[in-house]
Structure 1
């Protein structure tokens, strides 16, 4: 009789998922939901401490296991679990645990959830720092957003972070990419084979039929985890430049900023007299988004696609952002608000959307169309499962065609194994 045992999935998380704190946490839960719909048995493990907004995985029937870095206890754990699929949440987990997975469960499909290209985000961050250091103009950042893909490659290619991240991508059997822009960058500039990549964007379960009307909404809103550097930079740019320009035209306007893990440096910016409200974590991010009239997301650097903007579209809230904020999110479809490259243009667009109900409604319609065309769970969830099953069905040939990955695994895993064993032995002697 053929085995009827469910597919066993081990997820090795960089952190425990917090879907109400970050887009990365939300995306992980969307992937998990796609697996649960197949009846797969999921074990979630992580070496990280538990955050205050952690998802209740046990309530979903998911086993939770804490694991340790550089500790052979993981070897016993994974041998006994014998997963069919191992999903690494971000490349650092593949670096730490990939060699152990391959050694003890060589037939398990190894999947990397990249979340976004961290080396791309870091390269842009370094470019922004250089721009701020050598140019005092706080308004126009159009040159920062202008580089062609080959120019971005030039900034990324020699960095340690890019080389580590690309190596992990090659070592994995399949890589989940949240943005088609990042797939194009990897394929066209870094020459990563398409066979190693799968588009898995943020996913929504349907599109609301009705939204809170324009007349019943008020205030601007910005939202994002303060531990995420692009979000903090956006708050600073709003405080110093973008928001004062908006207040010049809308003297009574208010901006409500929500974010998990709000640091003292953020609460210090709270100034009701300026209409600038730092309000810490939102218990229900969608609830506050539904009441806002315009979402501000002036991101000067970043990567991936933006959960706050997807949430805004889901709530029928037009957004104002930069080319980085909109990157990989709309293809050839009209944007659900406005995209601008300077503080003055962002402010002008925000004021126009706030005042002009017709423009506001048109942006809302564009957001509805974007969600329906590009972000449906019923499309991307099954597509992800189908791609994983196809790789599992032909795994030997799939790996043979990725010789670069095999070569990198051979050299990386040996050095990492010896380093991990040395650290473990050193820790035992302390």
Structure 2
């Protein structure tokens, strides 16, 4: 049986983050193709981590800077190794290359960390995003090196696909566009949705370990909610997210209708009962699970250009995209109050899910590409000379640093 080893940055928690949902989608896809999946991670398990054994996935804790991984992978002989984020490729990539050289090495970027971090740094300085700053960022050099060392990198957003090719000059053959893998919104599902009248309130959802989500809630409090509340005095904002911090919890204010609800066990239920998803994101990268969750459950959204970036393949947005927060507040009220505008937005969301995120179409194409790479892996690697150079250099540097740490820890 073909085996896939997934090396996770964290244990899978699909109810806590979009990254967890994404990983679950990939696991399901591999299993559907008959692969035996093992999920390994050096991270401590969180209380919200899913028990993957219920899905017939083997779970294995692994150690950083420890040769026990070498015998672990030699014994397993996986046909595919998937690194969950570039940090895992940095830690384990050289060991995979040395002890399981025939494994297809896939990097799931989740989102481009260098893009998100650079945008955050520039926002803190009061500067607008520049390609020059992105190119000079240390994290960009690390992340791009990891992409070059792998046989295939999964890119979640169309914007990031373009950025990698035009700004970083990455060969298209090393990249594969694979957004969220979602079921189509069929008529049977739409019939069960709550109507405009049956829904109420705004919802803002996202885990608070993720800096863009924290900033979005702070912007709601400082610059947006009071304007909305003036026009809609009985409407509430419900804020949900895992890993609640004191900074967010203390924003709760019943009188203002600014309600911090905490962790949502079922994001779907929260979103399908709301009338509008609101996401004033000022920085970030990748695609936003809160927004696809809205589309999949018939809930229109209002967000920023960063929020909608790379998500809708130039199809009309399922609500409004606005960066000026005064105008943002006005459009949020329009989307909430105007049933005709709301219903049209809902239809646009259905079109985006069905055309951009169709898991059957995307999954079939991805597996075909995996098989194609496996057949011609030697030639594929020969054509990626820069990747081989980096692999060689990394092997020399990281290998001996890791061995030194291992000896030191004995």
| TM bin (shorter chain) | over 0.9
Measure how far apart 1:272 and its partner are: 0.8
Report whether the alignment pairs 1:59 with 2:54. Answer: yes
Report whether the alignment pairs 1:70 with 2:65. Answer: yes
Q: Secondary structure at the match of 1:54?
A: coil
Residues 34 and 382 of structure 1 are in contact (CA less than 8 Å); yes or no, is this contact kept in structure 2? no
Say which of 235, 239, 249 aligns to 1:253. 235
- When residues 330 and 50 of structure 1 are mapped into structure 2, their CA distance, relative to the original with a 3 A threshold, is same
What is the Cα-based RMSD across aligned positions, in Å? 0.9
- Normalising by structure 2, we get a TM-score of 0.98
Q: Secondary structure at the match of 1:125?
A: helix
Measure how far apart 1:305 and its partner are: 0.5
Measure how far apart 1:301 and its partner are: 0.1
Alignment partner, residue 132 of structure 2: 154
Alignment partner, residue 91 of structure 1: 86
CA–CA distance in structure 2, aligned partners of residues 83 and 239 of structure 1:
49
Correspondence 1:1-400 to 2 at 5 A: 6-131=1-126, 144=128, 151=130, 153-207=131-185, 208-210=189-191, 211-400=193-382
Measure how far apart 1:206 and its partner are: 2.0
Residues 77 and 100 of structure 2 are in contact (CA less than 8 Å); yes or no, is this contact kept in structure 1? yes
Measure how far apart 1:239 and its partner are: 0.7
Residues 13 and 88 of structure 1 are in contact (CA less than 8 Å); yes or no, is this contact kept in structure 2? yes
| Runs of 4 or more above 3 Å deviation | none
Unaligned runs of 5+ in 1: 1-5, 135-143
Residues 155 and 179 of structure 2 are in contact (CA less than 8 Å); yes or no, is this contact kept in structure 1? yes
- Normalising by structure 1, we get a TM-score of 0.93
Unaligned runs of 5+ in 2: none
Q: Secondary structure at the match of 1:246?
A: helix
What does the per-residue CA deviation read over 1:108-155, in whole Å, with 9 as the maximum and x for residues that have no partner?
A: 000000000000001110111111xx8xxxxxxxxx4xx6xxx4x212
- Paired residues, what number? 406
Alignment partner, residue 138 of structure 1: none
What does the per-residue CA deviation read over 1:91-110, in whole Å, with 9 as the maximum and x for residues that have no partner?
A: 00000000100110101000
Measure how far apart 1:265 and its partner are: 1.4
CA–CA distance in structure 2, aligned partners of residues 395 and 417 of structure 1:
24
CA–CA distance in structure 2, aligned partners of residues 261 and 198 of structure 1:
31
After the TM superposition, which of the residue ranges 275-284 and 378-387 deviates more from structure 2? 378-387
Measure how far apart 1:167 and its partner are: 0.2
Residues 190 and 298 of structure 2 are in contact (CA less than 8 Å); yes or no, is this contact kept in structure 1? no
CA–CA distance in structure 2, aligned partners of residues 268 and 321 of structure 1:
24
After the TM superposition, which of the residue ranges 46-55 and 109-118 deviates more from structure 2? 46-55
CA–CA distance in structure 1, aligned partners of residues 263 and 9 of structure 2:
22
